[in-house]
Structure formats: C-alpha cells, structure tokens
C-alpha cells in the first residue's frame, strides 16, 4: 500500500537561501512521524509545503499515491490539517466561530450554528472538554485548552493527516502528557501525524519514525527503539561530543530576596483569587509553584510583576517594600518576567528584535 503522503526531492529557496534541498519524506497511515532539527533546519518550511502554504521550487507531492498540486484549501480537501506553533485564533470570538470561520455549514443560505455546535460538542467531549460550552470565547481558555481547540478545528475540517508544529512549546508537562494521550487516540483511529519538536524526550516517547534535518537536508532516519536522545542530538548538530546530562549540583542558598506576606487579591467580580498567601524566595533558590490551571498562579505572577494591584498584604524585594511600585520601577530593581504566551504578552510582534529587547 502506498504511503498516505510521499514528498519526493522537495526543494524550496528563499533568495539565496536553500531552505529545503531535495528532501524525501513519507508518512504511513496511523503513524506518528517526528521531524526534528535545529532552528532553521527547514522542518516547518517542508510542512508548510505539504500544507499548501508554500509551493515547492522542485519536487512533487503524492497523496495516497496520486501526484497533487494545491494551496491550503486543496490540502484541506485532501484531509491535511496543520496546527501551527502560534495559534491561529481570534480571542473575542467563540470556540464555534473560530472553528467554522471560513468553513461554516449553511442551511437555507444561513449559517447552521446548531449543526456546527452539535459536531463541536462531540469533539470537545472526545478530548475531555465536555464541560466547556462551544459558545465560550476562546480568549477565556488556558493555553492547553486552546491547543486542543486547534486540533479539534483540524478534525472538524476532516483532517486525516495532522501536522503538529512544536505543539508542546507553550504547554506544561501535564498538558503535554494530555496531548500525547490525544495523539495515541488519534492514531488508533488511523490518523497520521507529523510531530515537529526540539524536545527529544517527547520525540522518543511519541514517534514511530524520526527524520532528522540539518541545514535544509535530511541527515538521518530512525525507527522506534533504534535511537536514544543522544543519537538524535548528534544527528541534529553533526557532532559526536554531545552531552545531554546537565550539572545537577545545587548552589548555596542565601538570604531571602523576595518576601511576600499575607497576599490577597480579589478580582473585579469580587472573587478572592489569592487568599492570605505568604512565602519567600532566597538568593540562589528556585521556588516552584504548582497547581491546576485557574487556581491563582497567573494572578500571583501579575501581582509580583506589578500588572495587578494587591487587595492586601505586602511584597518586599531585598528588604524594600515594592508593593505599590509600578512595573517599570520593579524591572529596574531586577524583577523579570518570561510569559507563558510569547506571542500575545511576551513580544511586540510589530517591533524588531532591538526594540523588543529595550522596551
């Protein structure tokens, strides 16, 4: 039987840059094929060609053994869906509106929301999201839930080949485990999955086959059980002296640097999100904060960086009370923040790299 997807001698240039250099790639029915490589290796470019976003300069694509040439709409007709690294969602629109945008079912020339919602409810239940209404604004969901909605959208549109581009980049370990369970279920139904990732432990966990790219070329293939993380890393960077084990020696822990006393935060609806919370972070220490999404972690971060104002309590930094200081002054005192969602709160996308670094 012919592979579900076969890409032969695919070449793609951007000016003088050869992003894909005579790439061969195939995908079997019901398998997960991992595509790995360093940044700039050409992985996403290759999959954007498969999805129809880019046209190859040379080579051909066969779907179920038949040569095909298409744009994105044609890819969807062939059952090829792609979940991009950066979510393609409109925050103020509902789950239903985001999923059916451009593909709405109609009845008597009107959008058939009832039929769409019924199908979407079934998909939500399939992925353990039955308590979430299809009318929920997508901006109200956590990152892991939004990731699932992207997969649900692809399945709603009939995808049998699913391209996942860095799907765990913004997920917690628990959310990643949930995604892997989803992948396992999809494979049982015969869905074929391309899994692009830099996280080699996840690649080893999820992949039936691994293709390694470097500088626009395929440099290695592995089947499940044939390679370790170190083997894959060596192929990725082209060197043998790869050390994946980090130094686990702990440094000395010093005096408290940040002390939070009796923190309270009550949101605009009068609901206490933080209740009488006290803790300290010492110099040279990593303090982990765990909990199920929605239990105050986000509010705590916003209080520490100055986005939200405390309803009660105090924050001390190196013994100085910074409770009422604005964000800029806290940053000047050494408080930094790396957002879980780099595209909406971590970066100014219209600005260049220099401007982002100094803003």
Q: Report angle CA 124, 125, 129 to the nearest 5 degrees.
A: 60
- What pTM does this model have? 0.74
Tokens of 304: 């520490």
Residue 42 sits in a domain whose CATH number is: 3.40.50.300
Residue 257 lies in a domain: no
Residue 182: name the closest of 148, 159, 150, 134 by CA. Answer: 148
Q: Are residues 201 and 277 in the same domain?
A: no
pLDDT at 247: 64
How many residues are recorded in the chain?
359
Residue 354 lies in a domain: yes
d(CA 61, CA 71) in angstroms, rounded, equals 12
What pLDDT digit, counting tens, does each position of 171-196 carry? 778 888 888 888 998 998 899 999 99
Q: Which residues fall within 8 angstroms of residue 55, CB to CB, at 6 or more apart?
A: 49, 69
Please give the C-alpha separations between residue 343 and each of 89, 143, 194, 339, 346, in angstroms, as whole numbers.
Answer: 12, 12, 23, 9, 6
pLDDT at 248: 65
pLDDT at 245: 64
Residue 248 lies in a domain: no
Contact criterion met (CB below 8 Å) for 124 and 85: no
Q: Domain limits at 274?
A: 266-358
Residue 330 backbone phi and psi in degrees, to 5: -65, -40
Residue 44 lies in a domain: yes
Q: Are residues 321 and 196 in the same domain?
A: no
Question: Which segments in the chain show pLDDT lower than 70?
Answer: 1, 243-248, 293
């Amino acid at each position: 039987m012919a592979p579900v997807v076969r890409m032969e001698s695919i070449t793609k240039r951007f000016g003088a840059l050869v992003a894909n250099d005579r790439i061969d790639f195939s995908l079997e029915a019901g398998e997960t094929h991992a595509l790995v490589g360093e940044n700039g290796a050409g992985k996403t470019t290759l999959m954007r060609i498969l999805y129809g976003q880019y046209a190859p300069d040379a080579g051909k694509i066969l779907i179920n053994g038949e040569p095909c040439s298409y744009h994105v709409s044609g890819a969807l007709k062939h059952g090829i869906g792609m979940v991009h690294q950066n979510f393609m969602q409109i925050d103020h629109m509902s789950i239903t509106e985001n999923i059916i945008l451009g593909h709405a079912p109609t009845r008597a020339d009107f959008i058939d929301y009832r039929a769409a919602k019924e199908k979407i409810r079934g998909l939500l239940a399939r992925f353990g999201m039955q308590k979430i209404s299809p009318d929920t604004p997508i901006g109200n969901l956590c990152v892991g839930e939004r990731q699932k909605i992207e997969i649900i959208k692809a399945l709603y549109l009939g995808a049998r080949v699913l391209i996942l581009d860095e799907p765990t980049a913004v997920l917690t370990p628990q959310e990643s485990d949930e995604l892997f369970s989803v992948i396992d279920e999809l494979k049982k139904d015969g869905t074929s999955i391309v899994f692009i990732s830099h996280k080699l432990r996840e690649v080893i966990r999820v992949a039936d086959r691994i293709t390694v790219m470097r500088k626009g070329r395929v440099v290695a293939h592995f089947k499940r059980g044939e390679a370790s993380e170190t083997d894959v890393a060596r192929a990725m960077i082209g060197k043998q002296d790869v050390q994946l084990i980090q130094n686990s020696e702990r440094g000395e822990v010093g005096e408290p640097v940040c002390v939070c006393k009796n923190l309270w935060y009550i949101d605009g609806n009068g609901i206490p999100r933080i209740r009488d919370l006290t803790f300290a972070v010492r110099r040279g220490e990593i303090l982990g904060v765990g909990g199920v999404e929605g239990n105050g972690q986000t509010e705590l971060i916003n209080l520490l960086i100055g986005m939200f104002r405390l309803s009660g309590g105090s924050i001390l930094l190196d013994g100085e009370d910074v409770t009422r200081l604005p964000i800029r002054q806290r940053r000047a005192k050494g408080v930094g923040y790396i957002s879980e969602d780099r595209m909406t709160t971590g970066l100014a996308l219209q600005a260049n790299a220099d401007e982002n670094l100094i803003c």
